[in-house]
Amino acid sequence: MATDLTLPIGAYSVGATYPDQIAIVAADDTTTTFGLLLERGNRLSNALRALGLRNGDVVAYLLRNEPSFFEVALGVEQVGMYRVPINAHLTPAEVAYIVRDSDARVLVASHDLAAALAPVLDELVEHRFVVGTPVAGWHDYEAWLTAADAGTPADRRLGATMGYTSGTTGAPKGVRRSLAAILPEEVLPAMDRMTRLFGFRAFDGVHLVMAPLYHSAPNTFAVNALHLGHTVVLQPRFDAEAFLTAVAKHHVTSTHLVPTHFHRLLELPEEVRAAADLDSLETVVAAGAPFPPNLKARALAWLGPVVWEYLASTEGLVSVISPTEAMAHPGSVGRLIDAKILDENGEPVAAGEAGLIYFPAGQPPFRYHNDPLKTAATVRADGYATAGDIGRVDPAGYLYLLDRRVDLIITGGVNVYPAEVEQHLAEHPAVADVAVVGMPDPEWGNQVVAVVQLADGEHHRELLPAELDRFCRSVLTRAKCPRHYEFVDTLPRTETGKLLRRVVRDTLSSSNGARPWTLRR
């Protein structure tokens, strides 16, 4: 098959032109061809239309890393509807909230996840379908598809994903974009924009998915890989040794990881990593959480110049940095892509100064579903939006992420960016993971507190606060150095590696202000 195409031709066209090409390899090694994927996507499109759904309607799905995820994605997006992937780790009440808030008319769920929704069954939509083992109160997904027409649906029109924000700073909100009256194939070059930034090629790749598909980044990269004609290999969850095995077995060329995954890979014994056959890897993309420079340097030294990083959110893309640039500009997340840094008055800041990061909100701009106030607070009149990230750009044009605006600590009138302090503390050999938060203080307004997960091995906790304090003071100003240290077995993070600072703060608050490792100054 040709490998010199410069633009993707789309999963729909690949299915029609190269029906025997392998599209998906499931965790049990069963395969789905592009021809079969197209057929089942068509059946789903026609089944939705038979239920009375039309352009602009919403289909929610609660699925694990399985082929049905892509059937729903392709089926929904070729008939002008919105697809809403839901986090499989949410509680039944949280799932019900998203189904209601999104105005979904159909819900598709894996059998175990459908069974867990029994307590909220009456709150869910009538049209609900279970994939796999039957569940009381649910219609059979396979029977529904089998009864539908397998032909190309009439009136094809591009749909979209309405991803829900993680909700780490409040209730999740759907990020909704208006639908254009165009065919799905007409937008493929734009959909492929982010993919092409990382050097992917049409018909020449195998993409490994070990992160949950319900998250926007793994979802986007995997669907774009299919549109490029790549084979997508699915694994249920991330496991470091299983990752090495899968890359060698399937000759994987690309994957999307979070920094936590790199940490776990680099914790493997040296002899295990040395024996792994990773020669096929061309692009390993990292995002989802701050990537400590020392960890990234170790990853590049091991894997070679294949580790890319980008800064983005469900709302939009900010920057990308190549492996070569990363080695020359450690700690940067790359050059801005049509983005800009503004101060509190909406004016551009000078090089080196901190400000809010704004990026194009799209044409037309996105809006938060059912939340016009949040939309107005996020999207400017000029079409630029912010996810609340604070950063600075150096004179060479490289962006350095400082923190989220909501996480900013103001102590004694000084702004402290937790990510900056965490990045430095993570360099200490005794620190495996760290969260820095601000806690109320009657004198200073807030005190800087570090919650540390220790690296493997014996460490004298009674000596560490003073040692870590000296380590911080060697680089950071006094105001940025934590006044309190606490040690925990693990820190709360999402599956995409995002630190749940709110959980850390709530846990500290519930400890009645006890600070066992306090530094007196």
The whole-number average pLDDT for the span 277-286 is 96
Residues linked to residue 449 through DSSP beta bridges, in sequence order:
437, 484
Name every residue whose Cβ is closer than 8 Å to that of residue 126 and which is 6 or more positions away in sequence.
Answer: none
DSSP code string of 468-480: HHHHHHTTS-GGG
Q: Tens of pLDDT along 200-240?
A: 888 889 999 999 999 999 999 999 999 989 999 999 999 99
User: Is 340 buried (19+), middle (13-18) or exposed (0-12) by CB count in 10 A?
Assistant: middle
Q: What is d(CA 31, CA 23) in angstroms, rounded to the nearest whole number?
A: 7
Judged against a pLDDT cut of 50, whether residue 23 lies above it is answered with yes
Q: Are strands 389-393 and 355-360 parallel, antiparallel or unpaired?
A: antiparallel
Grouping H, G, I as helix, E, B as strand and the rest as coil, residue 190 is helix
Query: Quick one: pLDDT at residue 333?
Result: 95
Q: Which domains does the chain have, with CATH numbers?
A: 336-405 (2.30.38.10), 408-518 (3.30.300.30)
Query: Quick one: pLDDT at residue 291?
Result: 86
Q: How confident is the model at residue 494 (pLDDT cuts 50, 70, 90)?
A: confident
Spacing of C-alpha 207 from chain mean position: 16
Judged against a pLDDT cut of 70, whether residue 3 lies above it is answered with no
Judged against a pLDDT cut of 80, whether residue 57 lies above it is answered with yes
Query: Quick one: pLDDT at residue 521?
Result: 34
Query: Quick one: pLDDT at residue 441?
Result: 78
Q: How confident is the model at residue 5 (pLDDT cuts 50, 70, 90)?
A: very low
Judged against a pLDDT cut of 60, whether residue 1 lies above it is answered with no
Query: Quick one: pLDDT at residue 258?
Result: 87
Judged against a pLDDT cut of 90, whether residue 244 lies above it is answered with yes
Q: Say which residue the tokens 């040296």 belong to.
A: 270
The pLDDT mean for the chain works out to 89
